A = this chain, B = another copy of it.
Amino acid sequence: MDIGIIGGSGYTGGELLRLLAQHPEANVVAVTSRRLKGQDVSKTHRHLRKIYDLKFEDPSPQDIASRTDIVFTAVPHGTAMQVVPGLIDAGVKVIDLSADYRLKTDIFESTYNLKHTDPREAVYGIPELHPEVAGQSFIANPGCYPTGASLAAAPLADAGIIERVVFDSKSGISGAGADPSQVSHYPNMAENIQAYKLTNHRHRAEIVQELSRLDKGIESVSFTPHVIPSVRGILTTAHVFIEKQTDRDEVGRIYNDFYRDKPFIRMIDSIPMPGNVRGSNFCDIGFEVDKFSNRIVVISAIDNLVKGASGQAIQNMNLMFGLDEITGLWTPGVAP
């Protein structure tokens, strides 16, 4: 497969390059950056020196489409909707890593406070929840928080037993991108934890969309994100209130049935930690049933840049091309 990456200077672009370097069928032929046009890709992504000998380009959508089988768009929201139509019209497969095609158009517009210039259906690319990814030619790749949250709660939503759910998520700071800011300034982030958007983070809309698809009767879905002193990883603590008491065995059965034959989901007996999935496409899930109230605490751990972004995009690519979904992604996390 000949591959193009539009917007290759950020973390998700770098991570696509890192992962595709290990993919047996992948051949990256073009990486774009308007700002860095002409510069070595490995000057920005220094860990990729000697691995790639590419320069950033700034081609037209038609040009890049003519040289590739699939294009990943790793550009900011609002920008993707300007780029994607030209690519699709030129007949190339597209996976968009921005937020532009993840939500129903009206929800997108109210959530992002932005008029959508290219309203169009896309399959939402969590393959464990959307087997229809296979064979598609256009995928909206999910947000990092929604991936961790939806995978944690989907089996219970599917079982129809959720009354209310609170997702309290803790993310590494790489999710905020490669540009320095007060939040990511080392003295502000080290030995600290920063909660933000306590009630109305935009990713909440994706979680609501996914869970309500499985169960329309959930009373409320809440989401509160935090950044912790880590580069990678999201730990999602899902506080799930259910309608009636349950027990460990029943919940275990629900998860094991739901995720049977899903290679990247690892149901574990202990409590998942981001440290065990770092750099990998796995999503580790564990849970405990509360004896004090009708609550199940479900914990999921992913690498926000892999299963939460670029790894999942490659998993989608594999399925779009009829490959085994684990192709090029069956690598363990880097631990310690």
Contacts and interface: CB of A to CB of B under 8 A. Distances in A.
Contact of A230 (B46, B191, B331): B191
A233 B275 CA distance: 17
Given A51-B330, A198-B299, A336-B11, A233 B186 contact: no
A273 B194 contact: yes
B172 A237 contact: no
Contacts of A273: 46, 192-195
A200 interface: yes
Most buried by B among A186, A198, A221, A228: A186
User: Among A233, A287, A334, which residue has the most Cβ atoms of chain B within 10 A?
Assistant: A334
A222 interface: yes
A125 interface: no
Interface string A165-196: 01010101110001111101111111111111
A50 to B, nearest CB: 6
A271 B194 contact: yes
Interface stretch (A25-33, A147-155, A288-296, A313-321): A288-296
Nearest to A279: B334
Given A11-B336, A186-B173, A263 B50 contact: yes
A43 to B, nearest CB: 9
A94 interface: no
A268 interface: yes
Contact of A334 (B180, B219, B278, B330): B278
Contacts of A222: 239, 290, 292-293, 295
B195 A278 contact: no
Interface residue tally on A, bucketed by range: 35 or more
A295 to B, nearest CB: 6
Contacts of A291: 199-200
Interface in A1-34: 11, 14, 17-18, 21-22
Contacts of A170: 170, 193, 226, 228
A297 B198 contact: yes
A214 interface: no
Nearest to A265: B50
A205 to B, nearest CB: 10
A282 B50 contact: yes
Given A173-B187, A193-B273, 12 more contacts: A46-B276, A47-B276, A47-B334, A49-B276, A168-B237, A170-B170, A184-B185, A195-B237, A198-B299, A200-B291, A220-B295, A226-B235
15 contacts: A46-B276, A47-B277, A47-B280, A48-B332, A172-B191, A184-B186, A187-B231, A187-B336, A188-B275, A191-B275, A198-B287, A198-B297, A199-B295, A204-B292, A222-B295
Interface of A: 11, 14, 17-18, 21-22, 45-51, 164, 166, 168, 170, 172-174, 178-182, 184-196, 198-200, 204, 219-222, 224, 226, 228-233, 235, 237, 239, 241, 263, 266, 268, 270-271, 273-280, 282, 284, 287-295, 297, 299, 330-336
